[in-house]
Structures are given as C-alpha cells and as structure tokens.
C-alpha cells in the first residue's frame, strides 16, 4: 500500500515536473455519469466549452450510469497524473477508497451537480451544485411578486414521488408561498417529470377546478411536465401564460419556445454550467493556493419573456438537450 502510494506520488511528481516545464496548461479529468437526460448531455457540452475558454486540457470519461466505471476512470486519471479530477457522482456512497487514492496522489477532486455522503467531506476540494430548495423558492417568489395581492389558486405538478429533487423543489416553493396568505396550493399531484404525465395530470386538474377557471397559476417541478400541461390547457380552450400563469424549473430549450410564444411565463434555470465555477476554483487553488468553500452554489437564474426567450432558445438548442 505504502509502496503503491509512493509509486503514485513519484509518478505524479514526475508528471508535475514535466508540466511545470511546459507552461501552466492544466489537465483535468472529468468522470461524467453518462447521458441519461438532455440536461446531462448539455452539461457535458458546456463543460467542454468552459474548459476550452480557459485553455484547459479536458478529458471526459462517460461512465454509462455505473459507479464501477467512474471508479475505473478516476483511477486512470490518477495514473495519468492529471492536475484535478471532476466527478459527477452517480450515487452518494462508496467513494471513500478511490477518493483517498486521489488525495494520496495530491490530486484535488471537485464534485459536480451532486454531493456525496458526509463521511467523505475531507476527501474533496469543493462541490459545485445547485440548491433545489432555492430553485423552488425563486419560482415561488416570482409568482408572489407577479400575482401581488390578488387571491391565487395554484396547482402543482410534482416530480417523481420520493426523488430528492422533487421533495426539495416542493419544499422551497411551499416556503416562499407560505409568506403570502393570498397564494394557496389547491392541488398537487405527481407528473413523474414527463410530458405525457404532466399533460394527463393537468387535464384532470382543469376538470376538477371548474374547467380551469379557478386555477390562477401552475407550478411544475420541471419544464417537461409544463410543456405537457401547456398542451392540456390549450386543448381545454384556456390560454396558458394569460388565463393561467406558469412557472417551472430547469430552463430546457422547449420552454423558451413556449415563453417566446406567450404560452409560458417563467422558468428557473438549473444551469448546465457546473464546470465553469469548478474550473475557476481549481485554477485559483493551483495558482494562488486559495482554498474554495466546501460548497459552491450555482446561480438559479429566473427567465421570463423579458429575457429575449428566442435568443436563449437558439443558444441552448445546440447543447444536446
């Protein structure tokens, strides 16, 4: 074990020497989960762009949703003696051993998008994640501001029951809305994060709420469900975005098309740019030795019709969503 560590350390030292000779171009390895969703694909392509912007040599390993592939990738990054490792962990536990190896090799690890179990806190440099409770709050605050003092009945399309993102986005929204007694969530059902279920659930909400006349706003835990809900409202002869306000989370391209068409009002971005802040943190750490905070929270930016939705749509379209 000690011999192995020594070997790894000396290999790293040799590589670092080689590196310092050839200017300060950093090499960073990124163990990505896979491409299970459009957002994930966008995160991968944005990461490449951000690395290119900072002229960092960026290596991506696609783990195809398997932790053992991620561990293999991290080991190979350590063997290659990269300057830092980015990890988007597929699960929260089981990282201690491999992260200890990275620590012994003095390679800083940055977590992207997801956190790991508390036991591993001293094993990574920092985690760049969004705060899904905060996303829900941003959505709730926008609605409260837009509605003003008017009484407003809200229907909610929840994500998959039990998913932490769904629980947190609900919690944040409920907190924001609780401050305004005129806002009330009258119905809440799961749409499983999908367009088809979002549409089906919205159809029944409309029927249960007096043909949709008593609904003032829809809050969906993701944009896909909202896209489905918008279709349901249109088919019921309602005007989404006017008769019924909409606010959802994620900021996928298709919701900007709806905002541009006046059929949706607002979306809160889950930025695919997790690598940008992570790269900045690593560069500052390497060059100036500044230790970043343990958690870097990404911005949950709110987009409405005032943010040139068509332009945002065009810029996001090519990212792989």
Among 161, 242, 315, 318, binds other proteins (CB under 8 A): 161
> Contact between 236 and other proteins (CB under 8 A)?
yes
- 59 or 170, CB closer to other proteins? 170
Q: How far apart are CA 276 and CA 46, in angstroms?
A: 8
In the shown chain, the binding pattern of residues 16 to 55 toward other proteins, with x for contact by CB under 8 A and - for none, equals: -------------------xxxx--x--------------
How many residues bind other proteins, per CB under 8 A? 35
Give, as ranges, the residues between 209 and 228 that touch other proteins (CB under 8 A): 210, 224, 227-228
> Contact between 158 and other proteins (CB under 8 A)?
yes
Q: How far apart are CA 248 and CA 302, in angstroms?
A: 10
- For residue 83, what are the CA distances in angstroms to 43, 51, 78, 153, 181? 21, 13, 9, 53, 52
Least distance to other proteins, CB of residue 147, Å:
22
> Contact between 204 and other proteins (CB under 8 A)?
yes
Which tokens in the block code for residue 291?
A: 């230790």
**Where do runs of H (alpha helix) occur along 81-163?**
96-104, 132-147
> Contact between 195 and other proteins (CB under 8 A)?
yes
Least distance to other proteins, CB of residue 269, Å:
18
- 19 or 195, CB closer to other proteins? 195
Least distance to other proteins, CB of residue 190, Å:
4
Q: How far apart are CA 11 and CA 163, in angstroms?
A: 42
Q: How far apart are CA 175 and CA 60, in angstroms?
A: 38
Please tell me what DSSP assigns to residue 261. T
In the shown chain, the binding pattern of residues 252 to 271 toward other proteins, with x for contact by CB under 8 A and - for none, equals: --x-----------------
Query: What residues have CB less than 8 Å from 306, skipping those under 6 apart?
Result: none
User: Quick one: angle between helices 67-80 and 2-21, nearest 10?
Assistant: 60
Helix, strand, or coil (residue 132): helix
Beta-bridged to residue 152, according to DSSP, are: 183
- 83 or 203, CB closer to other proteins? 203
Which among 111, 113, 114 has a CA at the least distance from the CA of 123?
111
- 112 or 255, CB closer to other proteins? 255
* Pair 249, 220: CB distance under 8 Å: yes
> Contact between 235 and other proteins (CB under 8 A)?
yes
Q: How far apart are CA 47 and CA 52, in angstroms?
A: 9
Least distance to other proteins, CB of residue 206, Å:
9
Least distance to other proteins, CB of residue 196, Å:
5
Among 76, 129, 189, 304, binds other proteins (CB under 8 A): 189
Which among 127, 70, 136 has a CA at the least distance from the CA of 274?
127
Binding window for other proteins (CB under 8 A); candidates: 24-32, 78-86, 98-106, 202-210 = 202-210
> Contact between 192 and other proteins (CB under 8 A)?
yes
Can you give the binding site for other proteins, defined by CB under 8 A? 35-38, 41, 158, 161, 187-190, 192, 194-197, 199-201, 203-205, 207-208, 210, 224, 227-228, 231, 235-237, 254, 320-321
């Amino acid at each position: 074990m000690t011999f192995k560590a020594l070997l790894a350390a000396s290999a790293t030292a040799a590589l670092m020497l080689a590196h310092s000779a050839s200017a300060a171009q950093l090499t960073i390895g990124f163990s990505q989960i896979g491409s299970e969703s459009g957002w994930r694909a966008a995160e991968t392509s944005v990461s490449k762009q951000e690395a290119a912007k900072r002229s960092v040599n960026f290596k991506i390993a696609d783990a195809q949703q398997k932790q053992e592939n991620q561990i293999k990738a991290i080991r190979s990054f350590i063997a290659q003696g990269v300057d830092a490792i980015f990890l988007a962990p597929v699960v929260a536990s089981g990282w201690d051993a491999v992260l200890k190896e990275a620590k012994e090799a003095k390679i800083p690890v940055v977590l992207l998008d997801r956190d790991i179990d508390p036991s591993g806190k001293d094993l990574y440099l920092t985690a760049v994640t969004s705060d899904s409770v905060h996303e829900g709050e941003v959505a709730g605050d926008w609605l409260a501001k837009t509605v003003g003092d008017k009484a407003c009945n809200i229907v909610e399309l929840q994500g998959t029951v039990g998913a932490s993102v769904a629980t947190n986005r609900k919690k944040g929204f409920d907190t924001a809305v609780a401050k305004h007694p005129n806002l009330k969530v009258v119905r809440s059902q799961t749409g499983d994060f999908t367009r088809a279920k979002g549409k089906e659930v919205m159809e029944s909400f409309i029927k249960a709420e007096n043909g949709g006349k008593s609904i003032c706003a829809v809050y969906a835990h993701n944009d896909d469900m909202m896209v489905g809900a918008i279709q349901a409202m249109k088919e019921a002869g309602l005007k989404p975005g006017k008769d019924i306000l909409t606010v959802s989370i994620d900021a996928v391209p298709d919701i900007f098309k709806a905002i541009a068409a006046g059929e949706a009002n607002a979306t809160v971005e889950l930025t695919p740019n997790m690598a940008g802040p992570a790269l900045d943190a690593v560069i500052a750490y390497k060059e100036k030795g500044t230790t970043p905070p343990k958690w870097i929270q990404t911005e949950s930016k709110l987009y409405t019709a005032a943010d040139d939705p068509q332009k945002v749509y065009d810029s996001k379209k090519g990212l792989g969503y």
